[in-house]
Structure 1
Amino acid sequence: MNLKKIPRVHSITKEEFLRDYFRPQKPVVIEGFIEDWPAYQKWNLDYMKEIAGDKTVPLYDDRPVDYKDGFNEPHAKMKMSDYVDLLKREPTKFRIFLWNILKEVPELQKDFSYPDFGLRLMKGLPMLFFGGRDSYTFMHYDIDLANIFHFHFEGKKQCILFNQDQSKYLYKIPHSLITREDIDFANPDYDKWPALKHAEGYIAELEHGSILYMPEGWWHYMRYLTPGFSMSLRAIARKPKHLSKAIYNIFIMRHFDNAMRRLKGQAWIDHKNEQAISRTHKKLGIIAG
């Protein structure tokens, strides 16, 4: 894959962000923007254990999608205090995914503010994501194709991004938001996945206080290089084609996929995985070996 480093800026004005990144839909890492937030000083794993230790949190790992799994259904649950202990004790594949802090721990709202980047942020949906060393998310894009501001806290995280126009190279699973789950985007096997050689994307490493802006509907793969966590704030997609795709995903695609899982079981999952390869190779004129 051809991966460029995501540009980095130290702080940024609303006008600069809109002109240089939002309107052209380009990613950027913003440093030094949240140093006046209480969260910048307070938010670490120990603090999360202290303030939310008694909360039961949903956990996900990197197991392949199973037809019995519902849409975004967790693989396990655990008390936050036990989960933080696990993160600090040893590598684990368990991650917290889409945990709504506004609903679960209202006190945390006092530690941050909603920045004015010129976009209307959805204030009811601040989501936290946690992971242990070497845990990762599958390459995916969000169902609503939102503009995403990803604030990272504690540790380091690697992020790989692709525009939607690169989907033809990524072995996208039909009727889904993910690529083939057996692709290691950190170290891809080009003999097995030859189309990836043509993909052009971006890469960045986030540290405490970094903000990653991901444009509308961009594919993203996240790997935790050390235990840590992030918060995402989002703004609705503005481009009509992205809005229409988001509506299709939410109201049609996911319900169709769930219905097919119930009807055909694992055969539906296996069929989609096969289609991801055959469709990708057919588009690019690749003859499978």
Structure 2
Amino acid sequence: SYSTNNRFHPVETLHSLTTETFRNSHFTPGTPVLIRKHFLSIPAISKWFNRTPDKPNFYNLNTTYLDPFASTIVPLELTRPSPPSTSSAEEPQQNESFERFDAPLALFLSFASISQPPTTRLYLAQCFLDALPSDLQSDLPTPELVLQAGRGDIYATSLWLGRPPTRTPLHRDPNPNLFVQLAGRKVVRLMEPSVGRAVYERVRGRVGHANMRGEEMMAGEEMKGLEAAVWGNGMEENGWEAELESGDGLFIPMGWWHSVRGIGDGVTGSVNWWFR
């Protein structure tokens, strides 16, 4: 779950969009847009996931299809409870440990297929598509909007798979970003460059590099501060919010700050293209 906040306004939403309109109205001026169901034809949506008919937005991984690729090495992030910290002056505080490592895809498939305590999370995060077998890469073709809106220069492409809750704290990207939801649901909160920088610096108390998914932003006091600033009710600045379901795509302009949360049940899957 996440706190509602009336300072986060809905991102402009369209149900159809030509490349020319996207280029002129959003890519060139640098304004976000949510495009509903525009990407349902991506093969990975039907090949990698099984949808539960009587549960909207509830997906499981299609392990029959993915098992042949189980030996593929992928980046994983493990978050789990650690012993609470205590002091004579404070109440015990529950902490989390965070670890990033590479492991066979089989480990993630096994974890995602069984019921896990909600306090233990294994997230396949920022897996570069060019590191995947060619058959899986072909299931995630580059959208025409990415190829034709700008120079067709793709900086990087990443895959994200997990079971909610998943999170990526507040950060910015060095290139425009098309973020597409394959399965499940995610909420993205965005801020204009100057607004996001002010929030980030207020939390950190210093200027830092905020365009990396570093371990310092995924655990500890910095993570807690960034999460509270964006997802709590105390934020004073204005921002935008988009909730994505399967087949939806969100354009995040270069330099716009954003934080992402996976919500709901089942498996959530996303892919994004950083491009120019």
TM-score, normalised to structure 1's length? Answer: 0.67
Counterpart in the other structure of 1:83: 108
Going by fraction, where is strand more abundant, 1 or 2? 2
Identity of aligned residues (%): 22
CA distance in 2, matches of 1:234, 1:116: 13
- For residue 85 of structure 1, give the secondary structure of its aligned residue in structure 2: helix
Distance 1:137 1:35, change over 3 A: closer
Structure 1: any 5+ residue segments left out of the alignment? 64-72, 191-195, 237-289
Distance 1:220 1:154, change over 3 A: same
Going by fraction, where is helix more abundant, 1 or 2? 1
**Is 2:32 the partner of 1:27?**
yes
Q: Is the 8 A contact 1:130 1:228 kept in 2?
A: yes
Q: Is the 8 A contact 1:57 1:96 kept in 2?
A: yes
Counterpart pick for 2:8 among 3, 6, 11: 3
In the TM superposition, residue 123 of structure 1 has moved relative to its aligned partner by 4.4
Distance 1:62 1:189, change over 3 A: farther
Q: How does 1:1-289 map to 2 (within 5 A)?
A: 2-44=7-49, 45-46=61-62, 49-61=66-78, 75-88=100-113, 89-90=115-116, 91=118, 92-117=120-145, 118-123=149-154, 125-142=156-173, 145-166=174-195, 167-170=197-200, 171=202, 173=204, 174-177=207-210, 180-183=222-225, 184-185=227-228, 187-188=231-232, 190=234, 196-197=235-236, 199-225=237-263, 226=265, 227-236=267-276
CA distance in 1, matches of 2:140, 2:72: 20
CA distance in 1, matches of 2:164, 2:31: 28
Residues 71-106 of structure 1 deviation map (CA, whole Å, 9 limit, x = unaligned): xx9623433222133234223433222211222222
In the TM superposition, residue 158 of structure 1 has moved relative to its aligned partner by 1.1
In the TM superposition, residue 113 of structure 1 has moved relative to its aligned partner by 2.8
Q: Is the 8 A contact 1:60 1:95 kept in 2?
A: yes
Counterpart in the other structure of 2:92: none
Distance 1:79 1:204, change over 3 A: same
TM-score, normalised to structure 2's length? Answer: 0.70
In the TM superposition, residue 168 of structure 1 has moved relative to its aligned partner by 1.1
In the TM superposition, residue 208 of structure 1 has moved relative to its aligned partner by 1.0
Q: Which amino acid in 2 is paired with 1:188? A: G
In the TM superposition, residue 51 of structure 1 has moved relative to its aligned partner by 4.7
Q: Which amino acid in 2 is paired with 1:155? A: G
- For residue 171 of structure 2, give the secondary structure of its aligned residue in structure 1: coil
Q: Is the 8 A contact 2:155 2:175 kept in 1?
A: no
